[in-house]
Structure 1
């Protein structure tokens, strides 16, 4: 049996055992003793640990598949045949080779005219070089691994200037009309949401010895490190950014999601409040809606039952699919607030209405002199991005009592 499937089944059985234990240990007043609570929490921790192990194995399996792909056989020349795709500009093999040669070589030194000419197609106005198209897609894939928002949101690319997005502010209605009566006017009203670009950057330092080592995969290192740093900062802004020098987060006081439910407690959540949040979202949005919350909030939700006595959190048995709450997918993020007074602890809605706008072209610059005394070379990586919730009613949040 597949190891991942075996662990998923084991996780499901462990969860059923934990639920059964909790049900049998509840007193007539619905309270579980401290000793039994400790036992249950250990059982629940095993479920969480199995989930994390499944995630690790799935990522390892994906990496193994990538590394097990057959290598190209030696070729004496570049194969050319009719209909073969030819790439130009920043996607061309010529530009990619010149780009990474420039990253490994001191600026202006060791670059022959052919390489310099090839880099002209990607010269940035501030002195850097635009990342090759193929490598740019690698960065986006790496960001997806770090950032759940890019999986759920609507990601677009903009070339320059603000992107104006038309939004219907209010809709017209029909009316009952008497015979020969005039038909009243009822127009839709339209507004606009503007998405710009905020600059996000990071610096990476590499020793000259490591940089000159042909075994060192510079492309892979920069892609992963850039993804980790940018992904973390992006996710933070997409959740709680205030729109000042950064994107407007989904939990922002102004421009963020609407409050669907205010919990009666500052430190707990009830099943009725989760159901109220679920139905506070209009039915058309619920079709594609997902739950997003912190791991600590998931732990509190696991103990809740619906009106039929069924636990509302259910583990996934199929690889690549998330766990569910009320039959809707649930995702976790470290940047979602934990349960606390006034915290917006649960987000539920169609994240396709949150738009992430990437300004086309990420830029790398090589810094030769800044760290020369320590035998290091710096790389500055920047990108411009913005994010906004286009339609606030498409996402609702549960806010804890103040």
Structure 2
């Protein structure tokens, strides 16, 4: 048994030595702790395209076999973009963000709640039932096309994924932030300034606060919100 264990141990050491030597070769990518096969394959695809990928890497990314092909980016890549979006887009942190797969999403709305009534001891109670409605929100796709030079792709010291993440997030954040406020609703979301049914408080001045008592406008706005909702309200200013 001792002899067998020694052989196994030596074989493991030999295997580790070979991996270490391979990792230390010039131009060899470093071994990243916990790196998934999908992430490694995606990195290879970014720098060399499908032509330079190994068969196992293509298999790790491929999700479609149609004429155009299809590849799935690692979850870490998309998660990083979404995290950066939250940092760059002030309105997103106050939005109700949900993951959906359809072209629209339907939310139930409470039109009237349950009422309570004072009742005498032993008296009959008055029935009260809430009424519900629905609101349908269309989902619109926001896309971008990223181009990098061959020089950048061949530079192993250049953190391509990190730069792509930040630049894509910045591009998305600018367009998304504008849609939050002034989206037209045609091919894009409807913004706060264009959506119907949102109450407004007029300042009385076209491009400014009134010269006399400008704080009155803000105070009026704050007290115009029902108390139940006002506790969660925030100020958003340019």
Normalising by the residue count of structure 1, what TM-score does the alignment of the two structures yield?
Answer: 0.46
Structure 1 Cα separation of the partners of residues 137 and 47 of structure 2: 36
| Equivalent position SS for 1:163 | strand
Structure 2 Cα separation of the partners of residues 175 and 183 of structure 1: 8
The answer to which structure, 1 or 2, has the higher relative contact order (CA under 8 A, 6+ apart) is 1
* Counterpart position of 2:199: 258
Cα displacement string for residues 42-92 of structure 1 (whole angstroms, at most 9, x for unaligned residues): xxxxxxxxxxxxxxxxxxxxxxxxxxxxxxxxx95xxxxxxxxxx8xxxx6
2:103–2:140 contact (8 Å) kept in structure 1: no
> Structure 2: any 5+ residue segments left out of the alignment?
1-18, 21-33
Q: How many residues are matched?
A: 204
Structure 2 Cα separation of the partners of residues 227 and 201 of structure 1: 11
Structure 1 Cα separation of the partners of residues 65 and 236 of structure 2: 38
Structure 2 Cα separation of the partners of residues 168 and 105 of structure 1: 54
Deviation for aligned residue 1:227? 0.7
- Mean alpha-carbon deviation: is it higher for 227-236 or for 145-154? 145-154
Structure 2 Cα separation of the partners of residues 103 and 127 of structure 1: 15
* Counterpart position of 1:280: 224
* Counterpart position of 1:100: 43
1:123–1:130 contact (8 Å) kept in structure 2: no
- Name the Cα RMSD after superposition: 2.8
> Structure 1: any 5+ residue segments left out of the alignment?
1-74, 77-86, 295-402
Normalising by the residue count of structure 2, what TM-score does the alignment of the two structures yield?
Answer: 0.74
Please say which structure displays the higher CA radius of gyration. Answer: 2
The 3 A distance-change label for structure 1 pair 139 and 253 is closer
Deviation for aligned residue 1:292? 0.4
Cα displacement string for residues 295-353 of structure 1 (whole angstroms, at most 9, x for unaligned residues): xxxxxxxxxxxxxxxxxxxxxxxxxxxxxxxxxxxxxxxxxxxxxxxxxxxxxxxxxxx
1:142–1:224 contact (8 Å) kept in structure 2: yes
Structure 2 Cα separation of the partners of residues 119 and 184 of structure 1: 62
Structure 2 Cα separation of the partners of residues 266 and 161 of structure 1: 38
Structure 2 Cα separation of the partners of residues 239 and 182 of structure 1: 50
1:124–1:130 contact (8 Å) kept in structure 2: no
Structure 2 Cα separation of the partners of residues 284 and 209 of structure 1: 57
Is 1:187 the counterpart of 2:138 in the alignment? no
The 3 A distance-change label for structure 1 pair 284 and 161 is same
Pairing of 1:19-168 with structure 2 (within 5 A): 76=20, 93-107=36-50, 109-120=51-62, 122-123=63-64, 127-168=69-110
Report which of the two has the higher share of strand. 1
Structure 2 Cα separation of the partners of residues 102 and 93 of structure 1: 14
* Counterpart position of 2:182: 240
Deviation for aligned residue 1:246? 0.8
| Equivalent position SS for 1:164 | strand
The 3 A distance-change label for structure 1 pair 213 and 180 is closer
The 3 A distance-change label for structure 1 pair 267 and 250 is closer
2:140–2:189 contact (8 Å) kept in structure 1: yes
